[in-house]
Structure 1
Amino acid sequence: MSAVDKEDLKKKIIEVLKTVFDPEIPINIYDLGLIYKIDIDDEGVVNIDMTLTAPGCPIAHILVGMVAEAVRSVPGVKDVNVKLVFDPPWSPLRMTPEGRRAFKEIFGYDIVEAWIKRTGGER
């Protein structure tokens, strides 16, 4: 698989990840910043590192399964491995601009500004 093919496949994977939503925060997991890494090998095997908003999430295994199922549905993906990681820990600073806007529309405040005020901008 060429670099161009991998980049096209990655774009399709990101689009499908935007259909998977965090059950507690009604924002998709990509814009929420839960996807840390998407690697695609030459055979079309996709390796994803993802995290959770809280390490003790009781539905972690369900969310990992939802990610794997969604990515497997993308034409060109031969297999997918999803790894749950907690380093670095998630923070609102990882959200995309779209995720940040969605959060503000839903909850009425800018979570990144609130996070920076509370923590001084650290992870």
Structure 2
Amino acid sequence: MSEQPTSWSVEEQERIIQNIMAALEQVIDPELGIDIVNLGLVYGVDLFEGGHCVINMTLTTMGCPLADVITEEVMNALKPISKIETSEVKLVWYPAWDTSKMSRYARIALGIRQ
């Protein structure tokens, strides 16, 4: 697939990315019970011509046994978003995830003090 930057306006891209992030907040890490956005697992969202979306994300540990479950939930969360025709999840391991990437909400919910 030839991945070209979209021809959407900056405002429209921002709106779509906000919708994507809101949808990803509904994807809960099954082990921690916190959504993947507040856990800081989503590193980036790329939009391409034709409505292709790539989610760059990581997991709390390499070799996470629930990687397939989380990836499938991410794909399902993106389905209802208008303008997104196809999507993929790219798991990345750099930078390595640590608790500093978590939101204040997630740290409080998990009792982590930093």
Please give the range of the TM-score, normalised by the shorter of the 2 chains.
Answer: 0.7 to 0.9
Q: 2:94 aligns with which of 87, 97, 112?
A: 87
Higher relative contact order (CA 8 A, sep 6+): 2
Aligned 8 A contact 1:32 1:94 in 2: yes
Aligned equivalent of 1:43: 50
**Shift >3 Å, 4+ stretches:** none
Q: 1:69 aligns with which of 61, 76, 79?
A: 76
- SS in structure 2 of the partner of residue 6 of structure 1: helix
Among the aligned pairs, what percent are the same residue?
34
Q: CA deviation at 1:94?
A: 0.9
Q: CA deviation at 1:102?
A: 2.6
Residues 58-107 of structure 1 show CA distances to partners (whole Å, capped at 9, x for unaligned) of: 11111111111111221221111111111111101111233223323xxx
Cα separation, 2, equivalents of 1:100 and 1:43: 38
Q: CA RMSD in A?
A: 1.3
Q: 2:104 aligns with which of 88, 97, 107?
A: 97
Using the size of structure 2 for normalisation, the TM-score is 0.86
Which structure's residues are more often helix, by fraction? 1
Consecutive unaligned residues of structure 2, counting only runs of 5 or more, are 1-7
